């Protein structure tokens, strides 16, 4: 918990910061799945309703605590809503756009997750529940969980190769040149023969 | 450099340990590419020939310093020698076999690389030079470096999903069930239309 003085008014900047401090501590200590909004609220000395008011659901709280500029629901939701046809290409284009635009924040998150075991667990559970879970729900073919795993494996590896390991030429290639190379892989995992 | 007393005889266990200590310090401080055998030898107070005698070339020294059970040359070399046909499947089967058998050592290496910036650079340069470089050399189609990047991206992501993030069902599936799912991706990257 933060040692700086807390704000009195619900909605004050200080309450908001206290909630984020408490959330970071909880996620690091307990991971994503076992962190509950009401425990974060208790740690921050506020009502759970205030946490919901500021951050919506748990994924919104996690995203704010990790200083990410968006939630997976915001990014993946609309893509999935358009159906499974061409989903591989749409996901890839959107993901590369988001990473190109928020590279520093996202690379920082990966490095933080790598160096703090607690953060690693939280990020892992968050990816599993909020990203793989959503993609899996969109698959109409057999073995949806396995297909979502395979999609995640190619996406994680592509992001790691381009933004973390920065291997060339992949790191310098414009996103639009990468999309046609990798989208067929994602689409086969989503609805092709396995 | 180690503070423990050094052995006098070339070939003594103490010289060998001094070389490994010096190598770990050099790789962490300077990365893989800029570490030279002769600097490691100088740090360890031995002749460069002794480093070559113990560890062969730089990749062998790195593998020993990182306590890996094999060098990429040993694993990838024979697979590539059999030609590009079916290379995706052969690589994948061998890689999953090696990781299944050496999971703790390899996951430990990834975590060490994630938590020490210097180790991260060394591992990244090692992967780029010794693994991507070798695969790229085996590609006869257009854009060999890009193809090797794409192969690396799918392999890194698969290993991360199965062994680090341990997403299910991918983490529990027997290796032989994963090979037919992912090998077509690798083979397309190696010699398919891009």
**Is residue A33, in this structure, part of any structural domain at all?**
yes
Mean pLDDT, chain A, rounded, equals 87
Comparing A65-74, A82-91, B80-89, the range with the smallest average pLDDT is A65-74
Residues B191, B140 contacting (CB under 8 angstroms): yes
Whether residues B49 and B82 fall in one domain: no
Whether residues A60 and A79 fall in one domain: no
Peptide bond into A169 cis (omega under 30): yes
Rounded CA gap, B168 and A149, in Å? 7
Q: Residue A27: is it exposed, middle or buried by C-beta count within 10 angstroms (0-12/13-18/19+)? A: buried
Whether residues A103 and A167 fall in one domain: yes
B153 Cβ under 8 Å from any chain A Cβ: yes
Whether residues B109 and B162 fall in one domain: yes
Q: Which of B27, B42, B65 is the last residue of a domain?
A: B65
| Residue B116 DSSP label | -
pLDDT band at B117 (very low <50, low <70, confident <90, very high): low
pTM of the model: 0.80
For A93, the domain range is 72-191
Whether residues B78 and B61 fall in one domain: no
**Is residue A91, in this structure, part of any structural domain at all?**
yes
A192 Cβ under 8 Å from any chain B Cβ: no
CB-CB under 8 Å, B154 with A154? yes
Whether residues B56 and B124 fall in one domain: no
**Is residue A7, in this structure, part of any structural domain at all?**
no
Whether residues A98 and A156 fall in one domain: yes
Whether residues A139 and A53 fall in one domain: no
Whether residues B181 and B123 fall in one domain: yes
Whether residues A80 and A53 fall in one domain: no
Query: Which CATH number do you get for residue B183?
Result: 1.10.357.10
B146 Cβ under 8 Å from any chain A Cβ: yes
Query: Which CATH number do you get for residue B21?
Result: 1.10.10.60
**Is residue A153, in this structure, part of any structural domain at all?**
yes
**Is residue A8, in this structure, part of any structural domain at all?**
no
Please write the tens of the pLDDT for every residue from A35-46. 999 999 999 999
Contacting residues of A for B194, CB less than 8 Å apart: 180-181
Q: Which of B65, B81, B101 is the last residue of a domain?
A: B65
Query: How many independent structural domains does chain A possess?
Result: 2
**Is residue B26, in this structure, part of any structural domain at all?**
yes
**Is residue A42, in this structure, part of any structural domain at all?**
yes
In angstroms, the separation between the Cα of residue B52 and the nearest Cα of chain A is: 29
Q: Name the nearest CA neighbour of A151 among A185, A107, A100, A126.
A: A185
Please write the tens of the pLDDT for every residue from B128-174. 888 888 889 889 899 999 999 999 999 999 998 999 888 999 999 99
Whether residues A105 and A36 fall in one domain: no
Whether residues B113 and B44 fall in one domain: no
Q: What is the pLDDT of residue A103?
A: 87
**Is residue A1, in this structure, part of any structural domain at all?**
no
């Amino acid at each position: 918990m933060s040692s700086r003085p807390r704000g009195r008014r619900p909605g004050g900047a200080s309450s908001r910061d206290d909630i984020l401090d408490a959330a970071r501590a909880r996620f690091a200590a307990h991971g994503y799945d076992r962190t509950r909004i009401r425990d974060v609220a208790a740690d921050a000395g506020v009502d759970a309703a205030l946490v919901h008011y500021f951050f919506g659901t748990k994924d919104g709280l996690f995203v704010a605590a990790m200083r990410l500029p968006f939630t997976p629901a915001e990014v993946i939701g609309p893509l999935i809503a358009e159906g499974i046809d061409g989903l591989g290409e749409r996901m890839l284009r959107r993901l590369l756009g988001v990473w190109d635009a928020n590279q520093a924040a996202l690379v920082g998150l990966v490095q933080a997750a790598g160096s703090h075991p607690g953060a690693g667990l939280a990020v892992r559970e968050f990816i599993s529940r909020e990203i793989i879970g959503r993609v899996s729900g969109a698959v109409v073919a057999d073995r949806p969980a396995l297909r979502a795993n395979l999609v995640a494996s190619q996406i994680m590896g592509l992001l790691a190769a381009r933004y973390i390991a920065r291997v060339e030429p992949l790191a310098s290639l414009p996103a639009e040149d990468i999309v046609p190379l990798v989208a067929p892989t994602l689409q086969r995992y989503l609805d092709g023969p396995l």
